[in-house]
Amino acid sequence: MTNPRLINRLRGGLVVSCQALPGEPLFAAGGGVMPLLAMAAEQGGAVGIRCNSARDVLEIKAAVGLPVIGLIKNQYLPYEPYITATMAEVQALVAVGADIVALDCTLRERVDKLSPAGFIAQIRAAFPNLVLMADVATLKEGLAAAECGVDFVGTTLSGYTPQSQGAPGPNFSLVEQLVARTDVPIIAEGRIRTPLQARQMIDLGAFCVVVGGAITRPMEITSDFVTALA
Ligand SMILES: CC(=O)N[C@H](C=O)[C@@H](O)[C@H](O)[C@H](O)COP(=O)(O)O
């Protein structure tokens, strides 16, 4: 464990993912919106924030006192991994003070042609004390990442990769199996829509829970209601 104090701050709690991509209304070219969502999350009792881009890490760190899980989403087509998939992005996140860096640890071919193990080794060589969260989609990927000495494994990508297509959302069984097979703390993330589902994840042994869209994406919430009325 690279930073037990920081890790313990997240235990049993809710991390709120505050993200909007370019093209979404809340992205706001001039910034300033994600920190407001993060402040609301902090006031509501969240123990951490997850966010995308160096800009948002910087702005959110200035606005709240919570640990920030930073990532940078970038497409490197035809390669599929897009969550902090290069060393340059890790460096950018460290430079703006991300407390934890989330990175793609699926077993898909990456733009740098490294395996997740190779990428993690490269990161550890440059930043030995950096706290790392491995975003995975399957049990095999989660166990492989855990073997590489990451601090957390998150179920973030379950249902979003060819290897996990059709997986249920939220994926309770993936969390349950990871908890049973590794001592690395498991973060339940992805398609958690209700407080009860979040509670169930903790009861299954998740270390903490990340919720995004159900809290911070009004477009997504609206469309759920609209679909129900159609
Ligand atoms: C698949 C992917 O790119 N997930 C991203 C990872 O950072 C975010 O877009 C999600 O909002 C986040 O994982 C939280 O999940 P949900 O919004 O379902 O609660």
- DSSP per residue over 69-118, as a string? EEE-B--BTTB---BS-SHHHHHHHHHTT-SEEEEE-SSS--TT---HHH
Model pLDDT, residue 220: 93
Regarding an ipTM greater than 0.85, the answer is: yes
**What's the whole-number mean pLDDT along residues 197-207?**
98
pTM above 0.80, yes or no: yes
In the reported structure, the alpha carbon of residue 123 is separated from the centroid of ligand 1 by a whole-number distance in angstroms of 23
- Taking the CA of residue 82 as reference, the ligand 1 atom at the shortest distance is 3
Select from 24, 60, 93, 156 the residue to mutate for testing ligand 1; criterion: most ligand atoms less than 8 Å from CB.
156
pLDDT at position 1 is: 57
- Backbone torsion region of residue 60, taken as left when φ is above 0, otherwise alpha when ψ lies between -120 and 50, otherwise beta: alpha
pLDDT band of residue 2 (cuts 50, 70, 90) is: confident
What pLDDT, on the 0 to 100 scale, is given for residue 19?
98
Q: At what angle are helices 195-203 and 172-181 packed, to 10 degrees?
A: 20
**Is the model's pLDDT at 230 over the cut of 90?**
yes
Q: Is 52 exposed, middle or buried (0-12, 13-18, 19+ CB in 10 A)?
A: buried
Percent over 90 (pLDDT), the chain: 97
Which atom of ligand 1 sits closest to the CA of residue 21?
9
Asked whether 20 lines ligand 1 (CB < 6 A), one says no
Q: 156 vs 126, 138, 159, 178, CA distance in Å?
A: 25, 10, 9, 13
Helix, strand or coil, per DSSP, at residue 174: helix
Indicate the class that CATH gives domain 4-229.
alpha beta
Which atom of ligand 1 is the closest one to the Cα of 216?
17
> Would you state the pLDDT for residue 172?
98
